[in-house]
């Protein structure tokens, strides 16, 4: 599904540039997306390359510009769903989400340190920690997927209503 199929009324101003590019018939320019992502990092003083919205992440991944790495546990991916063809390296494992001490080594084995890497978790919080750890380990282009796969909690403590990969109607599958 293209990001252009999402209704404009459901998209905040942060997403309007990506969608307007798509509505003109072409894919979003990866360079423009990365400039915005790096600007977000500078504004928020992030200790990694930047933050991309789910729509921007999909554009970069779908165009083959970036690798998408889902850092959620195997249990999360199984019960909640996952992005087709994304790589998997767990930041934490098991239902207790015990930190994976081999995360950086496993990430490097699957991606190398020089590729453009997008890290995805449930809400964008663990993937930010993982992006920081990867950057400290020498990865050059690691970006956090803001909002994550399920998005932020709503007033009923449920995810998926306000934002997140699934909220925006981006491709996902479930076992």
Task: Note whether residue 109 is domain-resident.
Answer: yes
Residue 112 lies in a domain: yes
- Determine the Cα–Cα distance for residues 97 and 67; give it in Å rounded to an integer: 24
Residues 53 and 15: beta-carbon distance below 8 Å: yes
Which pLDDT does position 20 carry in this prediction? 37
Distance CA 162, CA 10 (A): 10
pLDDT given for residue 3 in this prediction: 35
Query: Quick one: which of 133, 141, 92, 146 has its CA closest to 113?
Result: 141
Q: What's the domain range around 72?
A: 30-145
CATH number at residue 105: 3.40.250.10
Q: What is the pLDDT of residue 165?
A: 96
* H/E segment holding residue 34: helix 30-44
Q: Is residue 70 a part of any domain in this protein?
A: yes
Query: Does residue 83 form part of some domain?
Result: yes
Tell me the whole-structure pTM to 2 decimals.
0.83
CA 33 to chain centre: 13
Q: Is 134 within a domain?
A: yes
Please list the pLDDT of the chain residue by residue as tens digits (175 residues).
333 333 232 334 444 444 434 433 456 899 999 999 999 999 999 999 999 999 999 999 999 999 999 999 999 999 999 999 999 999 998 778 899 999 999 999 999 999 999 999 999 999 999 999 999 999 999 999 999 999 876 777 776 677 899 999 999 999 8
The answer as to whether 161 is a domain residue is no
Tally of structural domains, the chain: 1
21 inside domain: no
How far from 156 is each of 76, 107, 153, CA to CA, in Å? 20, 35, 8
Q: What is the pLDDT of residue 159?
A: 67
Residue 168, domain member (yes or no): no
Q: What is the pLDDT of residue 21?
A: 41
- How far is C-alpha 34 from the chain's CA centre? 13
């Amino acid at each position: 599904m293209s990001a252009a199929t999402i209704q404009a009324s459901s998209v905040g101003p942060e997403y309007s540039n990506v969608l307007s590019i798509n509505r003109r018939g072409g894919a979003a320019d990866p360079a423009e997306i990365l400039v915005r992502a790096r600007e977000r990092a500078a504004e928020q003083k992030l200790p990694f390359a930047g933050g991309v919205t789910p729509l921007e992440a999909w554009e970069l991944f779908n165009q083959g510009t970036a690798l998408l790495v889902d850092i959620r546990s195997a249990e999360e991916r199984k019960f909640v769903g996952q992005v087709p063809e994304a790589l998997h390296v767990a930041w934490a494992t098991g239902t207790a989400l015990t930190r994976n001490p081999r995360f950086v080594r496993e990430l490097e084995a699957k991606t190398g340190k020089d590729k453009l890497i997008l890290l995805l978790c449930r809400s964008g919080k663990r993937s930010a920690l993982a992006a920081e750890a990867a950057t400290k380990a020498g990865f050059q282009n690691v970006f956090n997927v803001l909002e994550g796969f399920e998005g932020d909690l709503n007033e009923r403590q449920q995810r998926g209503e306000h934002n997140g990969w699934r909220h925006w109607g981006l491709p996902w599958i479930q076992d």
